[in-house]
Every structure is written in C-alpha cells, then in structure tokens.
Chains A and B, each alone.
Chain A
Amino acid sequence: MSRLARDWRRYAVTFETILAKEILRFSRIWVQTILPSVITTTLYFVIFGRLIGDRIGTMDGFAYLDFIVPGLVLMAVITNSYANVVSSFYSSKFSRYIEELLISPAPNWVILAGYLAGGVVRGLVVGSAVMLVAWVFTEIRVHSLAVMLMILLMTAILFSLGGFINAIYANSFDDISIVPTFVLTPLTYLGGVFYSIELLPDFWQAISLANPLLYMVNAFRYGLLGVSDIPLGIAFGMILTFILVLGAYSLSLLRRGVGIKT
C-alpha cells in the first residue's frame, strides 16, 4: 500500500473516531441536547400555530402554521449544530483533552471535519425530530427535497463552523453563550422565521437583507413550501461563500494554534 493510501486510511479512522465520540457525547445527554428543541418547537406550533395562527390568517398564501414550519426547523438546526461544536470543543480545551488530538498525527482539516460532522449530525437529528412534530400539526408536502436537504446540510455546516470559531476564542463558559444569546437568537428571529419581509416597510426590508439568516430561512422555505422572499441562487451562493470563508479561517486558527497552543 502506498504512503498516500495509508495516510488516507489513517485519516478516515481518525475522522470516524472523532465523529463517533461526538455522536456518543450528545446521545448520552439527549435530555439536554435533543429534547429541549423538540419541546420548544412543539410549544411554538401549539401557541403560534393553533392558538394565535388562526387569527393571523395566511402569509404568502399559506396558513400561518405552515408558513412558520421551515423557519422553526431551520432554527433548531442552527441552534443545535452551533451548540454542539462550541460546547464540545470548548470543553475539550477547558479540560485539556484537546491535547489528545493535538499530539496525534491527525491533520487540522481532519480534526475540523470531525467536529463539524458531529455538529451537522446533531443539527440534522434535532431538525428531523422537529420536522416530525411539524407533520403532527400540519399537512405540509415537500416542494423540493433536494433544495431542502442541501440547505439543511449547508446551514448545519455553516453554524458548526461558527461554533468552532467561538470555541477557539472562548476563555470561559460565559463566552460560549454570548454569541448564541446576543447574536444568533436575534438574527434568527429577525430572519423571517415568523413573518415575510414583505410585511416590513422598505427601510426595514433593506436592513433585513443584510441578515444572512434571512437567506437560509427563505431558501429552506422554498424547499418545503415553494415560496421565498429571496432568489434561490443568491441564497445558495451566500451560504457557500460563508462556509468557504469561515472554513478557511478555522483552518488558519488551527494551524496557528490560536487558543489551543502557547
């Protein structure tokens, strides 16, 4: 076997090990990692959908409950993929068992890929659970499965990268909750989860276009319902650009050892 083939085999084992460790980690504490999002979104469906939704009427031609489903699913994916990587990687830094990986011959891109894959899996597991809950309350038919799956996957990758960068810079457990609380949650709520931006005055519509989450929510809404405030190509292009930029930045942080080496 050539050295290249041996190396790739080794990388595959390392990747599988990190991924298995990550899946095991969030599965062991499923009450903390999977259940809360399912309960929260069920409450959203009950309150905004059943109780208040009927009074709101339709939005973009859909019952309000149907309209908010894509945003709620995506919100669960965003929150969980981010939370998984930020908390797992920061814990490994805090307790210093990240050193187990740093001394190993695992290349930086394999380490990054392993952690991202863990975040993506948790995001998709919780997203799927929320989707199942949605089907209890609605009768949504998927408009484009391919678009829906692509957006789910790309969004989970992007926010796993965000969680990774947050963990690299975090110096305390407080630091890993600042971004989700003060940046991620407001952007998600203002990203068209609960409304169409066409309802906003022109000025606020223009401001909303600067919110990257708007593009993801709308692209996912297109995949599920077939309607979007944003052209699909722009949404894909934007998410891909963010992934490439944050991915390159994460690798550069790992190469320089920022936050993990002295």
Chain B
Amino acid sequence: MFAVEVQRLSKVYKGGFQALRGVDLSVEEGDFFALLGPNGAGKSTFIGILASLVNKTSGRVRVFGQDLDRDPETVKSCIGLVPQEFNFNLFLPVFEVVLNQAGYYGIPRREARVRAERYLRQLDLWDRRDTEMRRLSGGLKRRLMIARALVHQPRLLILDEPTAGVDIEIRRSMWSFLRGLNREGTTIILTTHYLEEAESLCRNIAIINRGEIAERTSVAALLRKLHTETFVLNLKGRVSELPELGGFVLQYLDDCTLEVEMNRDHTINGLFDALSRNGIEVISLRNKQNRLERLFLDMVDHRAADVGGQA
C-alpha cells in the first residue's frame, strides 16, 4: 500500500505564483523518503497540502488509501507534522503543549498523560516538562515538535527541515530516534537542506524543482549516477607545486592538504602510485561528504539551463 499517493497536484497562490505544477508522486508504506529541492521549489507547499494547512488548487491526495477531500478526518488522524517554523504558544509549559495536541486528536486526558511522558522521555525532554516554551533552546524546541507530532501515534510522520539550526550532537540523536521510529513501521517523509541527512537516513528520494518532480528514485540509484569521487588528503610534508596526474584533478586546500577528484574508473591504488612517484606521502584521507549535494546541484542547474534554453 502507498502511504501517500498524489496525482496531478497543483497549487496557484493568490498572487498568481504557481508553486506546484501537476505533481505525481507516491511514497510506499514504511519508507523513509526524502523530498529535496531548492528554496521556493514547492516542498513546503506540498507538505502543507498533505497536512491540510494549504488549500490545493487541483489534484488528488490519498493517504493510506483515504482521499483527503472525502475523508479529511481519517487522513489527518494518520499524519504527524513537524513543521519548519516553530508554532507554539510560547507561554505554555512543555507538558501542556503535548497534552493539548493529544486532546485535539481526541485522546482522553489519562491516556494523553501516559503518551506525553513516554515521548518526552524518549526525546530527553521529561526534565523540562514544566519549562515554558519560550525558555527552551532551538534544539529542544525541535525535539519537542517531534514529541508533539507523535503523541497521536501517526502512521506517517512528515518532517520539514527537522534539524535546521540544531547542533551536531542533537542532530545525530534525532537521526537515531527517527531511524528507530521508521524501523518500528512509521513511514517518514523528510525535507532537508542537509543532503548528508537525506543520504544517511532515507531509502528513496524525490527532487522537486520549480513545482515539478525532477527525479524520483532510490538514494542508492541516485548515488550510482555520480561518476566521480572526491577525497581530501592530509600530506606528510608541504607540496610547493601541484603535480600533473592523469585522470585525477588536484587542488590545494592548504600547503599540507590536497583535494583530489577522480573518475570512478580509476582506483585509489592508482592514485597512491601516482602520488608516490611524485614524492608525495599521504598521512590520511577522507571521503568528501555531500555527494548528494553535487548530484542535486547538477540536476537543478541542468533543469534551469533547459528552461532558460527554451525561453
């Protein structure tokens, strides 16, 4: 079964801006799915329509087989939303925020208390349960938004830039929590600017650009399209002049650090041989992150060029 099935979804805002242009997209139940795109591509509009915060202009949305127009209450019950912007009453304490959200979903108070405690504990917020929202840091607010979105135990969790502005430690702990949630069966759709996040967490991916789906594939298949790898090398000594190495593109990061881009038909052994022949000794190397970023930029740039060419 599809968790989300969207057909010919369009959205034209009042000023005439067309945010979505007949989007067709489906997400399998149990998937961990990334929706990527540059600013203004239509990601938040797409999510807003799924979560009933934005009125669609046309098209059809089904969530776990239920039509959003025909049975909005059932669809809404299935979805938990972690929005991009903080949307709390800043004067309420943490526990009350989660309890109120449970109440809006019709969960009786006694059950709501049990669930609120469970999720606040899981997200390390239980000690802060009496703290007013305005006194929480950005990272804690982000975690609270996840607890709030889970209190009615949704089958589909949608996260719009969930780790924006949080430190690495909190980000990693949130990743671990989300992976566990997905393993237990919750379908997750994620938008993010951190492509490393999508690469690390998600199985499938859609790239949205100018209101259209530019690519919809698995993360693994997308990465296979990447023909080059980039490594950062820490050198034993200083290199005064960059050697010419056939098949490898070298550039200085500093005197003792080189960045090497190599085609996939070359090997690391070949790279080391070539470096050794030029008297360059390597202490360590690391794979440069954000491989997805390169693909993403290529894809978005190509489409922009195509549109420009047609104009």
Contact = CB atoms under 8 A, between A and B. Distances in A.
Nearest to A12: B106
Nearest to B106: A10
B33 to A, nearest CB: 19
Contacts of B85: 96
A17 B103 contact: yes
**Which 7 residue pairs of A and B lie closest in terms of their CB atoms, listed nearest first?**
A17-B103, A10-B106, A104-B104, A96-B87, A105-B73, A105-B76, A13-B106
Nearest to B50: A103
A18 B86 CA distance: 20
Majority secondary structure of chain B interface residues (helix, strand, loop or mixed): loop
A107 B52 CA distance: 12
A62 to B, nearest CB: 45
Interface in B65-98: 72-74, 76-77, 79, 81, 83, 85-90
Nearest to B105: A104
Given A100-B101, A102-B52, A9 B87 contact: no
A10 B104 CA distance: 8
Contacts of A99: 53, 81, 83, 87
Interface string A2-20: 0000010111011011101
Contacts of A11: 106
Contact of B106 (A14, A92, A257): A14
Nearest to A256: B55
B51 interface: yes
Nearest to B11: A262
Majority secondary structure of chain A interface residues (helix, strand, loop or mixed): helix
Contacts of B177: none
Nearest to B77: A105
Contacts of A16: 103
Contacts, number: 80
Given A262-B13, A262-B48, A262-B55, A107 B73 contact: yes
Interface of B: 13-14, 48, 51-55, 72-74, 76-77, 79, 81, 83, 85-90, 100-101, 103-109, 148, 152
A50 interface: no
A178 interface: no
Nearest to A11: B106
User: Which of B73, B85, B86, B90 has the most A CB atoms < 10 Å from its CB?
Assistant: B73
A103 B88 contact: no
Given A20-B103, A96-B85, 10 more contacts: A13-B108, A16-B103, A91-B89, A95-B87, A97-B87, A99-B87, A105-B105, A105-B106, A106-B105, A261-B52
Contacts of A17: 100, 103-104
Contacts of A256: 55
A42 to B, nearest CB: 29
Of the four ranges (under 10, 10 to 19, 20 to 34, 35 or more), the interface on chain A belongs to 20 to 34
Contacts of B83: 99
A105 B74 contact: yes
B78 to A, nearest CB: 9
Nearest to A100: B101
B73 A103 contact: no
A103 B13 CA distance: 20
A170 B263 CA distance: 59
A103 B51 contact: yes
Contact of A14 (B72, B88, B89, B103): B103
Contact of A105 (B55, B72, B88, B148): B72
Interface in A58-109: 91-92, 95-97, 99-107
